[in-house]
Amino acid sequence: MAQKSHSCGMVYKAMHFWMEAIMRMYLQVQMDVEAANSAIKGGSMAEIIRGFTDAVKPEGIWFTALNGKRTMVAIFDLASPADIPALAEPFFMGLNASFEMSPAMNLDDLQKALSRL
C-alpha cells in the first residue's frame, strides 16, 4: 500500500484547518415578494431576521431592494459549515428566499493575502 506523501499530509491538514476555522462570510438573501408581504403582515419576517442576528451577531447587516425584491445583505463569522442549514432554512421556508453565501475578506485580510503572493 502506498503511503501518503508529505505534501498530501500538509494539504489535508490545511483543508481540515479551513473546515474548522471561523470564516467571515458575505450573505445575500433575496425574498419572494408575496412571501415577504405575508411574513411582514403576520410578523414572522421580524422573527426570522431576529433569529439570524441572534445566532450569528453579524458584523454588519443592510436591507435594500435588488431586482425588485427585498434583499438582506450581511457580513458575519461562520463558526462551522454545519451551521448553514439552521441559518438558511428559516429564510427558505418562511420567506421563499434565495440564500447565497461566500467567503469574504476585509481590507486587513486582503493585505495579508497579497503579502503572501
CB 63 within 8 A of CB 48: no
Q: What radius of gyration do the chain's Cα atoms show?
A: 18
The 3-state secondary structure of 95-114 reads HCCEEEEEECCCHHHHHHHH
35, 50, 53: which is closest to 95 by C-alpha? 35
CB 71 within 8 A of CB 30: yes
Tell me: the pLDDT tens digits for 6-15? 555 555 555 5
107, 93, 103, 100: which is closest to 36 by C-alpha? 93
Stretch 75-85: mean pLDDT, rounded?
A: 95
The grid coordinates listed for 11 are 494539504
Tell me: the pLDDT tens digits for 43-66? 999 999 999 999 999 999 999 999
